[in-house]
Amino acid sequence: MSLREKLEAGGPAIGLWASIPSALTAEGAALAGADYVVADQQHGALDPTTLMAMLQAIAGGGSAPLVRVARNEPFPIGQALDLGAAGVIVPMVESGEEAARAVAACRYAPEGIRSFGALRAGAGEQPLCVVMIETRAGLERAAEIAATPGLDGVYVGPSDLALSLGLQPTIRLEHPPVLEALAVVHAACADAGVAAGVHCLAPEDVPAQSERFAMVTAGGDALLLQGALAAALRTARG
């Protein structure tokens, strides 16, 4: 079952986040059994050559390769798709107009404005377009954003959302206003018939969130690697 099919069936699709600029670690995330692996261009140090290698490795490992692009503009979105992403996650979307802009960048004419010229054969065909709600302004327009024609999903970024709500980000999903925001976005997505997604930094939060969200990220490579190494050293030192 493809990622699109899994999301349309209600999920849950459980994925991992890849910020380390390495095809080896990206492949490891895929081989671990993730339904999708997101290469992060917004906060990760990924140049186009490294990104393409990571996308190839993720697909080769059996996961759907996605890219969180750096910004909501046609060039980075089109480039990610041309290099082989099965879809993009677009950050900091705060209105239906901004969501529509992201959708248009993912679609060829007449539905959109994406330029034709995929570097890899078949790259970016029928790509997923998912936008992020991670600010108070986006939250207030969740229904408008989710109802954007052609949009495939809305993905919540709890850390930036917490900051926007005047809170400090936490590893666990525990702030009541953030949990209330998750419910708001989930309801908006259910009404619009699009997939709802959420980013978890702690794998412990995934079981509860996957009961309602179709797309749930179980953590990122850098934090998980650091945690695993620290645990190994604690065990080694007794």
Of 124, 89, 94, nearest to 17 (Cα)?
89
| Cα three-residue angle 208-58-120, rounded to 5 degrees | 135
Strand partners, 203: none
Chain position carrying tokens 């997101």: 38
Q: Are 87 and 128 in contact (CB under 8 A)?
A: yes
Give 231's contacts (C-beta < 8 A, 6+ positions apart): none
Give 141's contacts (C-beta < 8 A, 6+ positions apart): 94, 95, 96
Element of type H or E holding 56? helix 48-60
43 is annotated as an active-site residue: yes
Catalytic residues: 43
